[in-house]
Amino acid sequence: MAATFVAILRPVTVLIAPSILASDFGRLAEQVQEAERAGADVIHIDVMDGRFVPNITIGPLIVEACRRATDLPLDVHLMIVEPERHVEAFAVAGADWLTVHAEASTHLHRTLQLIRNGGAKAGLALNPLTPLAVVRGALPELDLTLLTSVNPGFGGQSFIPATLERLGVVREWRDQLNPECRIEVDGGINIDTAGAAVAAGAELLVAGSSVFNGRSGIAQNIGDLRRAATGG
């Protein structure tokens, strides 16, 4: 319902960012290419260090492997402490967008500048209960704001409904202060939640389980998600 509602109110451009966290890593290149053929706009890569979040996933080598597999933008979500120590390595590996968590970087302003100076787009991510005020202050330095709609660390979790209100606040600030900044939502996005997230203000939808382990094949899953998101 919500998706239909938003489609009537305002035409929206929604980008779909499959998260490789839910893919078959034994066939990573194939899975990325399948997502690209199916119309994915961006490839989302979740980097976890076992400290900022409980889980450990991947490093720059896998970003490099994705870079070889596709020309789509690589959207690298750093769930690591002191991300400033690794920003350069991920940029060199081929990240187009580098997103750091506000909770993980003490000198955030400097970290965001470091990302841009390294030639990547700078993103800022917030956990579900982190006060939003930091986004308002950081907006001039941002190309992307990511609101996590689950507690980050694992795929396959349920969307936290309070994220919708947070998306609305960020959308308003973004429209006023930096219209170029994209708004991304990450966690629990599927055909039941995508429409509401877009109606609330999200433009870039990260989806892991619903794309790679969804009801159908990757192509059908991405198509279903896009329809649910745009009311098409």
Task: Please identify which of the residues 46, 49, 143, 224 carries the catalytic annotation.
Answer: 46
Total interface residues for ligand DX5 by CB under 6 A: 22
How far is Cα 36 from Cα 43, in angstroms, rounded to an integer? 8
Residue 214 as a binder of ligand DX5 (CB under 6 A): the answer is: no
> Which of the stretches 60-68, 116-124, 171-179, 182-190 binds ligand DX5 when contact is defined by CB under 6 A?
182-190
Nearer to Zn ion, 45 or 108 (CB): 45
Q: C-beta of 184: minimal distance to ligand DX5 in Å?
A: 10
Q: DSSP 3-state assignment of 101?
A: strand
Closest alpha carbon to 72 in 123, 31, 112: 31
Query: Which of Zn ion, ligand DX5, none interacts with 207 (beta carbon under 5 to 8 A by kind)?
Result: ligand DX5
Q: Give the interface segment with Zn ion, choosing from 64-72, 131-139, 182-190, 192-200 (CB under 5 A).
A: 182-190
Task: Write out the binding residues for ligand DX5, residues 18-37 only, by CB under 6 A.
Answer: 19, 21-22
Is 192 an annotated catalytic residue? no
Tokens of 55: 């889980």
**Residue showing the smallest CB distance to ligand DX5 in the complex:** 208
Q: Among residues 84 and 184, whose Cβ is nearest to ligand DX5?
A: 184
At 108, is the secondary structure helix, strand, or coil?
Answer: helix
Q: Return d(Cα 21, Cα 77) in angstroms, integer.
A: 11
Q: What's the rounded Cα separation, in Å, for the pair 204 and 130?
A: 20
Q: How far apart are CA 229 and CA 191, in angstroms?
A: 7
Q: Is 207 in the site for ligand DX5 (CB under 6 A)?
A: yes
Number of other CB atoms surrounding residue 73 within 10 Å: 17
**Alpha carbons 92 and 108: distance in angstroms, whole number:** 20
Distance CA 48, CA 206 (A): 16
Active site residue 46: yes
What is the contact surface with ligand DX5 in residues (CB under 6 A)? Answer: 19, 21-22, 44, 46, 77, 150, 152-157, 186-189, 206-210
Catalytic residues: 46, 186
What is the contact surface with Zn ion in residues (CB under 5 A)? Answer: 46, 77, 186
